Amino acid sequence: MATDAQEMTPAHPAPAWTAPLLALGLALAALFIAFLPTFHSIVEIWNRSETFAHGFLIVPIVLFLIFLKRHELARLQPQPSFLAVVPIVVLSLAWVMGNLVDVVSVRQFAATLMIPAVVWLILGTQVVRLLQFPLAYLLFAVPFGQFMVPPLMDFTADFTVAAVQLSGIPIYRDGLQFELPTGRWSVVAACSGVRYLIASVALGTLYAYLMYRSFWRRLAFVGVAIIVPILANGLRAYMIVMIGHLTGMEHAVGVDHLLYGWVFFGVVIFLMFWIGTIWREDHPSDPRNKPEPVATATEGNASGRIVTASTLAVVLIFAGPIYGGWMNQRDLGPVQGLEAGPVVPSGWQVVDSNQGTAWEPGYQFARASRAGLVTRGPDKPTIGLHINYYREQHNHGSMVGWANRLAGRDGAWSERRRGSARVDGLAPGDRILVNGPDQRIVAWRWYWVNGHLTTVPHEVKAREALHRLLGGRDDAALIVIHAVYRDDPAEVEPEMRYYAEAALPAVLEHLTDVQRQ
């Protein structure tokens, strides 16, 4: 009996977790209070978007995964790790920069990543190492992935058209629209499959963690969870088009369109998970790999470290929102001196807008703008210039964001990026074809940020944020040179290049003067 009792007694008694958990609760409460608007924005997106509705399940899943680790956690002694101060400071700065230039995703990721960082600070390295997957899984709560919609729409259109052609059915494609003998179809954002992809990756990652022990098997299954929904969405679109074609457009339209899509996706995911069970590794892990408890500090020393860690966490948590709020209260001043009309180099003349195109880029929130049309003669193409100037974007609206695109957001116009615009002595611009109901336009676009030209939205935001963080302004401008063409953009692009080389140096110098005022 003595031997049996000895075997039943834990080798390492469970340490006292009361004080560390109270300190963690205090720090997390401070975190949610300080970043309440950010967390509220996350929940709002869950509520209004079917693509991210799975976010409501992430926190319960994380809590359940932590509950599964309760016996292993009981063997550890929480010890504050002040190394966590570094990521907390970095994340706080990232949140401030995202707040200063109104990048919602940066704020949301920074606030969410603060949770494991605070856990690391108060409970220590061994606890975070044991909980690394549940804490990392919190990232799936952040609504992220809308940037994948355009390329997924292109892939869906490419896949569907190719599959229909292989089926021997004639099809005509114009961008994201295509026509069969029985009717017209269009690939819209809801057809991109991004919601299937995001849901599949979230479920596939959890499945891989629970079913496998090998890192490579887990990684392989996550890879499958990425590839399968993309291909499945292409098949789904093809099947819907074929059902509509074969039934004379009586089925697979309207509600049927969405119903068939979700049923097909559910079947595909079920098969993917079922096949994944063949290679499952559900045997218990080697007991020798279980973490050993750390040495227990003296009661006074441990209490002092916990108090210090929790106090430090609260101070660092509130520092970011306080600084960001103070910075956003500063008046950066109005935009002055941009003038009106196009820049007119020698040899060019202004064209009345009634004689040219009334098209304007679908960009909003500019503090000031100038635009106009120019030409070198009656037998030459008409070239348009449009400049939008932005400042204090947190309060007035951002230049780079979902709401702003050349084609606008009303659905009347469409756009596709086609290569780069090369102008001597300047950084290449984006070359974008914009199609409307009765016009075709080729547009060259640049972003100007505090004296620097770029076409990369992330670079725009990074430069704006850095300038704001250091006490400067977030001055930026959109520069667009455009022209109407009939059959081929090559009809007008040589004249656009000629104008760009003559006018853009003066435009850049003028923007620098406006920035200084």
Both tokens of residue 469?
A: 């963080």
**pLDDT, tens digit, 9 for 90 and up, residues 458-470:** 899 999 988 888 8
Burial class (CB in 10 A: 0-12, 13-18, 19+), 201: middle
- Tell which residue, 388, 357, 389, 361, has the closest CA to residue 374: 357
Structural tokens at position 393: 């974007």
DSSP code string of 117-177: HHHHHHH-HHHHHHTHHHHHHGGGGS---GGGHHHHHHHHHHHHHHHHHHTT---EEETTE
pLDDT profile of the chain (517 residues), mean per 10:
44 65 94 96 92 92 94 90 95 92 91 97 94 96 86 87 88 80 78 84 91 88 89 85 77 54 72 78 53 49 84 94 86 86 92 70 93 92 95 88 85 82 89 88 94 91 88 91 92 95 94 90
Give the separation between CA 148 and CA 192, rounded to whole angstroms.
8
Q: Report angle CA 466, 367, 351 to the nearest 5 degrees.
A: 120
- Beta carbons within 10 angstroms of residue 439's beta carbon: 14
- Residue 286: predicted pLDDT: 47
Q: What is the rounded distance in angstroms from the CA atom of residue 51 to the CA atom of residue 145?
A: 9
Q: How do strand 476-484 and strand 440-449 relate by DSSP bridges?
A: antiparallel
| Contact indicator for 317, 27 with CB cutoff of 8 Å | yes
| Three-state helix/strand/coil letters over 245-291 | HHCCCCCCCCHHHHHHHHHHHHHHHHHHHHHHHHHCCCCCCCHHHCC
**What phi and psi, each to the nearest 5 degrees, are found at residue 285?**
-70, 160
Q: Are 189 and 255 in contact (CB under 8 A)?
A: no
From CA 20, how far away is CA 494, in angstroms rounded? 69
Query: 169, 245 in Cβ contact below 8 A?
Result: yes
Chain centre distance of CA 171 = 34
Copy the structure tokens of residue 236.
């789904």
Whole-angstrom CA distances from 31 to 111, 306, 322, 327, 469 are: 8, 17, 13, 20, 21
What is the pLDDT at residue 450? 84
Report how far residue 503's alpha carbon sits from residue 158's, in angstroms, rounded to the nearest whole number: 39
Spatial contact of 306 and 80, defined as CB atoms under 8 Å apart: yes
pLDDT value of residue 125:
94
DSSP state of 473: -
**Amino acid 246: pLDDT:** 80
pLDDT score of 119: 96
Do 27 and 313 form a contact (C-beta atoms < 8 A)? yes
In the structure encoding, which two tokens stand for residue 465, read together?
């944020």
Q: What is the DSSP letter of 379?
A: T
- What are the sequence ranges of the domains in the chain? 13-138+296-328, 150-191+214-279, 349-516
Element (H, E) at 338: none
Burial 133-168 (b: 16+ CB within 10 A, else e): bbbebbbbbbbbbbebbbebbebbbebbbebbeeee
Q: Are 447 and 455 in contact (CB under 8 A)?
A: yes
Q: What does the pLDDT read at residue 300? A: 52
In which residue are the tokens 């006292």 written? 16
Q: How many CB atoms lie within 10 A of CB 323?
A: 17
What's the longest Cα–Cα distance across the chain? 108
What is the distance between the alpha carbons of residues 265 and 271, in angstroms, rounded to a whole number? Answer: 10
Packing angle of the helix pair 255-276, 194-211 (nearest 10 deg): 20
Q: What's the confidence (pLDDT) of residue 12?
A: 46
What is this structure's pTM? 0.79
